[in-house]
């Protein structure tokens, strides 16, 4: 069965309340492990998105070349200087994190996929979002599924899903739901199959469909914002399925708000960031009014 995913659906997956007398430790810490200096902006988008949905602390991996600029661009973050393929400092930080977002801006390759599995193995109780170059391939399925164990959210678009399953992009576009279900079962992960219509599929096959996406979301960095938002919710203690559902709705509604403001195609991914807390507050207020 496939359920419709909209704001009403989220009432069945409530977010944990933030205590008025709580602090940043109560809201969780996110570690973003992304690409190198030429695509370091993807890590910034993901990290800020995590904070915008309520995560309390942020760490971002950077190489030495990008670390100074990263520290200035995101003064809220602690910068961890490490090569993206060097697991030692990342394993140490990941074991202390509440959630990891691995892959934004990463080149696709075996070292990146191997790093994702090593981080999963080293932090066996921490939830993950895996995106972009760190997404697993079919050949990685056994090792990845054993490490992922239902606590991981994969966020591929059609092209990435084609690489994951070893099919053509046209095949994936013809049956995105079938592809998402296959990947979710194969990798024991929640799959967010991104597109104008987005599907969220749990490892046991439960499925949600979100339609009505706006064209402006099809822009560079938009997927990094989504991955970061899901990661921020995971850090707050939201279960993987619920974090994926909320992340998809928040991301889409932020895009709709920007489109309604007169920029249906020309808005930037970074503009989604400021909309996320407003959309989150609005949805939560509407849910409380309806209760």
Q: Does residue 19 lie in a domain region?
A: no
**Residue 285 in domain:** yes
For 34-185, where are the E strands, in sequence order? 57-62, 78-81, 99-102, 128-130, 152-154
For the cut 80, the answer to whether the pLDDT of residue 193 exceeds it is: yes
- Per-residue model confidence (pLDDT) at position 85: 66
Query: With 80 as the cut, is the pLDDT of residue 71 above it?
Result: yes
Cβ atoms of 79 and 93 within 8 Å: the answer is: no
Which phi and psi (to 5°) does residue 45 adopt? -60, -45
Determine the Cα–Cα distance for residues 155 and 134; give it in Å rounded to an integer: 10
What tens digit of pLDDT does each residue of 36-62 get?
888 999 999 999 999 999 999 999 999
- Residue 28, classed as helix, strand or coil, is coil
Confirm whether 232 is domain-assigned: yes
H/E stretch holding 290 reads helix 269-290
* 187 falls within a domain: yes
pLDDT higher than 70, residue 212 = yes
Residue at 220 is within a domain: yes
Domain enclosing residue 128, as ranges: 2-13+25-290
Which two tokens mark 164? Answer: 């994951």
Percent of the chain with pLDDT over 70: 97
> What's the full length of the chain, in residues?
291
Question: Angle at the Cα of 148 (from 179 to 39), degrees rounded to 5?
Answer: 75
The mean pLDDT value for 249-258 works out to 95
Question: Is the confidence at residue 151, as pLDDT, over 90?
Answer: yes
Domain total of the chain: 1
pLDDT at res. 270: 97
Q: Residues 128, 100: contact at Cβ < 8 Å?
A: yes
The whole-angstrom distance between residue 27's C-alpha and the CA centroid of its chain comes to 17
Q: Is the pLDDT of residue 288 over 80?
A: no
Q: With respect to residue 18, please indicate whether it lies within any of the assigned structural domains.
A: no
In a domain, 143, yes or no: yes
pLDDT value at 19 more than 80: no
Nearest to 50 by CA among 241, 286, 213, 246: 246
How many whole angstroms separate alpha carbon 92 and alpha carbon 74?
22
- Residue with structure tokens 């606590």? 151
pLDDT tier for residue 263 given thresholds of 50, 70 and 90: low
- Does residue 284 belong to any structural domain of this protein? yes
The pLDDT score that the predictor gives to residue 20 is 76
Q: What's the pLDDT tens digit per position in 83-125?
A: 766 789 999 999 999 999 999 999 888 889 999 999 999 999 9
Task: Extract the tokens encoding 181.
Answer: 């279900």
The Cα–Cα gap between 280 and 253 comes to 9
Non-local CB neighbours of 107 within 8 Å, separated by 6+ positions: 35, 36, 133
202: domain CATH number is: 3.40.1190.20
CB of 104 closer than 8 Å to CB of 227: yes
Average pLDDT, whole number, for the chain?
93
Question: In terms of C-beta density within 10 A (0-12 exposed, 13-18 middle, 19 or more buried), how is residue 1 classed?
Answer: exposed
Token pair of 91 as six digits: 């394993």
């Amino acid at each position: 069965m496939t359920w419709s995913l909209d704001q009403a659906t989220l009432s069945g997956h409530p977010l944990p309340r933030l205590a008025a007398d709580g602090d940043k430790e109560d809201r969780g810490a996110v570690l973003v492990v992304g690409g190198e200096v030429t695509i370091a902006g993807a890590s910034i988008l993901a990290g800020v998105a995590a904070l915008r949905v309520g995560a309390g602390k942020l760490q971002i991996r950077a190489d030495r070349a990008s670390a100074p600029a990263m520290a200035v661009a995101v003064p809220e973050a602690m910068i961890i200087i490490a090569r993206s393929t060097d697991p030692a400092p990342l394993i140490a930080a990941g074991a202390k994190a509440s959630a990891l977002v691995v892959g934004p801006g990463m080149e696709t390759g075996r070292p990146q996929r191997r790093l994702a599995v090593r981080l999963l193995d080293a932090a066996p109780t921490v939830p993950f979002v895996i995106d972009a170059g760190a997404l697993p391939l079919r050949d990685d399925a056994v090792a990845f599924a054993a490490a992922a164990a239902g606590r991981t959210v994969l966020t591929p678009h059609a092209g990435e899903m084609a690489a994951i399953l070893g099919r053509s992009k046209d095949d994936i576009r013809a049956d995105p739901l079938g592809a998402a279900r296959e990947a979710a079962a194969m990798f024991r992960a929640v799959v967010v199959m991104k597109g104008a219509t987005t599907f969220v599929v749990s490892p046991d096959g439960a499925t949600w469909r979100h339609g009505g996406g706006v064209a402006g979301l099809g822009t560079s960095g938009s997927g990094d914002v989504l991955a970061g938002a899901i990661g921020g919710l995971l850090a707050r203690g939201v279960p993987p399925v619920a974090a994926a559902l909320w992340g998809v709705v928040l991301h889409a509604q932020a895009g709709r708000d920007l489109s309604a403001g007169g920029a249906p195609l020309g808005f930037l991914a970074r503009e989604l960031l400021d909309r996320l807390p407003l959309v989150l507050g609005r949805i939560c207020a509407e849910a409380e009014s309806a209760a």
